[in-house]
Amino acid sequence: MQTAFSISTEAVLVRLLVQIAVILAVAKCVGAVFVRIGQSRSIGEILAGVMLGPSLLGWLAPAAFVGLFAAPAGAPVILPWLSHIGLVLALFIIGMEFDFRSALPHAGKVAGVAVASLVAPLVAAFLLTPWLWSIAPGTGSRTAYTLFVGMTLAITAIPIMGRILMELGLTRTRVGVLGITTGAFKDLLTWFLLAVVSGIARPPLDPWRIVTMVAASAALAALALTLGRRLVEWFQRRWGWDGERPSGAMIGLLLVLLVLFAAATAEIGIFAIFGAFLAGVMVSSDRRLAHAVSDRLHDLTVHLFLPIFFTYTGLRCDLSALEGPLWLAMLVVTVVGSLSCGGVAWLLARRSGLSSTESQALAALINTPGLMVLILLNLGLDLGVIPAALFAVLVGNAMLRNLAVTPLLRRARAAGLPGA
């Protein structure tokens, strides 16, 4: 005899499995179309979410949308948690892909371009906020709102950038190395700024709490880069790393580290994904181990969890609610973001001695928001820093800017990019 609890659990499971099946089917189909036309699969998967969400399915067939995605009263909402698990695994893989040693020969250029392409969007956001607030007003701190808009204009997507460079054969070129290392350094600065925004967004405003959060984050990062890396080396010696394929015990221990660091940063107040990134950085010093572990986790993350995250982001984006001024805001933010981020990068690259073609390619790379901006936007919406209308505007901005990256890089390569 089944209990009420078991029936409820079974119903929730069936509903979740149907949601996942629909999401994966639509995301894979739309993503494949975007790959065929030379664009990133992730843009297609976001569009799949928009199609399944209130913007299209909810408009054409409201009953089907509610029946598929609206949770019954009292039922747990599991889909957002699956998307968050995907983010934790994705940031772990991204951390393992970072190679900070490659930045050392270009430290001056990297620091200059990274800082300038972060500060310029923050200034642009300061100038844009009065207008954006008037058409998409927030409910919390205006300072957090402004900083958040600036971060979303500035952040760079290292995974998508790296994938584009590999597809175009530009990984070992000077502009490829500069793009990856500059983006990595700028994203680290952005994560620490996110800790500040998180502190401001959670009333009451307590400057000491913000200082504590940033200090604790820096201490945890230092721990990961020192003792954490030594711990990983000890794992390698103790639990079966033969230089080819890590043992199941080794993978299990690294996942324990991932969970512990994710929990630690969540407890600090700067989100689990930052701890997942630090856990990946601990593994990154051994490139062979990092690649081996990444290969073991890649398929599950990229083909299951990330499509759920991208589609869930699209589901939260209601374009049907956007009115005239908000569509204009999407275009304005896209142009301003491209100029303040990519334009500044191009100017500094030219001043540092790069050719016009290299500078254009570097500007396109630095102007790749991709996965990272979607992570930021979902965090901002969850924190209440930005309203749903601005969320939709900024998702549209990210998609438009990503669409331009690959064509610009193909054009630079055709124009004779050195080393290509």
Which residue segments constitute the domains of the chain, with CATH numbers given? 4-79 (no CATH), 80-414 (1.20.1530.20)
Task: Answer whether residue 84 shows pLDDT above 90.
Answer: no
Average pLDDT over residues 287-296: 83
Task: Answer whether residue 167 shows pLDDT above 70.
Answer: no
Task: Answer whether residue 76 shows pLDDT above 70.
Answer: no
- Rounded to whole angstroms, the Cα distance separating 179 from 156 reads 10
Count CB atoms within 10 A of the CB of residue 59. Answer: 13
132 confidence band (pLDDT: 50, 70, 90):
very high
166 confidence band (pLDDT: 50, 70, 90):
low
* Predicted local distance difference test score (pLDDT) of residue 158: 66
* Predicted local distance difference test score (pLDDT) of residue 172: 62
Task: Answer whether residue 128 shows pLDDT above 90.
Answer: yes
408 or 332, which is more confident: 332
Average pLDDT over residues 2-15: 65
DSSP-derived letter for residue 40 is -
Half-sphere exposure in the Cβ direction for 85 (13 Å, CA): 12
Work out whether the CA dihedral 269, 151, 83, 4 comes out positive or negative.
positive
Least confident of 184-193, 328-337, 340-349: 184-193
Give the global pTM. 0.73
364 or 242, which is more confident: 364
211 confidence band (pLDDT: 50, 70, 90):
confident
Task: Answer whether residue 291 shows pLDDT above 50.
Answer: yes
Task: Answer whether residue 194 shows pLDDT above 70.
Answer: yes
* Predicted local distance difference test score (pLDDT) of residue 71: 65
User: Who's near 232: CB < 8 A, 6+ residues apart?
Assistant: 254, 257, 282, 283, 285, 286, 289
286 or 387, which is more confident: 387
Which residue, 295, 403, 389, 379, is CA-closest to 83?
379
Report the share of the chain in percent with pLDDT over 90: 9
